[in-house]
Amino acid sequence: MKKTDLSTPATPTVQVIERMFTLLDILASREETLSLKEISEKSGLHPSTAHRILNDLATGRFVERPVSGSYRLGMRLLELGNLVKARLSVRDAALVPMRELHKLTQQPVNLSMRQGDEIVYIERAYSERSGMQVVRAIGGHAPLHLTSVGKLFLAFDDTQRLRSYATRTGLPGHTRNSITQLVSLERELAKVRQYRIARDNEELELGVRCMAAGIYDDQNKLVAGLSISAPADRLDESWLPKLQATAGAISAAMGYRSEK
């Protein structure tokens, strides 16, 4: 049986993707813009091939053309890099406090962030030895208006952005408890702004309730949410101060300073 050489870097199986990576690496190696001729020479690609791939990358904003015939890395890479950086730093700051909160509640604790019109779960703390639990898969996603953390983010959108979200998504429902009307959602979000706590009352999944508190960064910006999910009849209101304190500790680790 042929052995895999783990010391050899893996290469993409699709040739055009490998070429895209090569072109991005070349652009990353220089601060100034590069001409198509220079890129072609460094990559070993024919100018027409390099031009075609660079144009596709420019369409996705991964590459910019400040002047005709010259190229540099695009802002989309910065946006993605900042998103990854934010996720990693929040996750690092949250992991230990999340585990401590789980020990106190014996219910899963979820860390999630906004990605467009959805919430994405990026970390969780739970125990396989515990009884009935509501465990969210890392990488799973759900509509903002159906989740406790999603409501935190919507609550601090301005009126126009909220209405655009409602129009764009149609506010679909998953259960009989789902909020599917803008007027009802606005009333719910007013409570979230007042108490800085959000809830999911069997709106995403029947039999499951959640409570969430926000995590803020050094710019006082909401960057993530911490939530406890439990069977509907097991969600304990006494967990709320513990949840808020944990979210506050994570925010402090992110550089947040509460406004007195």
pLDDT tens, 97-122? 999 999 999 899 999 999 999 999 99
| Per-residue model confidence (pLDDT) at position 6 | 37
Please compute the mean of the pLDDT values over residues 128-149 and round it to a whole number.
78
Confidence grade of residue 9 (pLDDT, cut at 50, 70, 90)? very low
Entry pTM: 0.68
Please compute the mean of the pLDDT values over residues 142-171 and round it to a whole number.
96
- At position 47, the amino acid (one-letter code) is P
Express each pLDDT in 48-96 by its tens digit: 999 999 999 999 999 999 888 899 999 888 888 777 777 768 999 999 9
**Neighbouring C-beta atoms of residue 27, cutoff 10 Å:** 22
Cβ(157)–Cβ(192) under 8 Å?
no
Q: Which domains does the chain have, with CATH numbers?
A: 15-73 (1.10.10.10), 81-253 (3.30.450.40)
Taking CA atoms, 220 is separated from 123, 168, 207, in Å, by: 22, 28, 34
| pLDDT of residue 229 exceeding 70 | yes
| Per-residue model confidence (pLDDT) at position 7 | 37
- At position 164, the amino acid (one-letter code) is S
Cβ(111)–Cβ(93) under 8 Å?
no
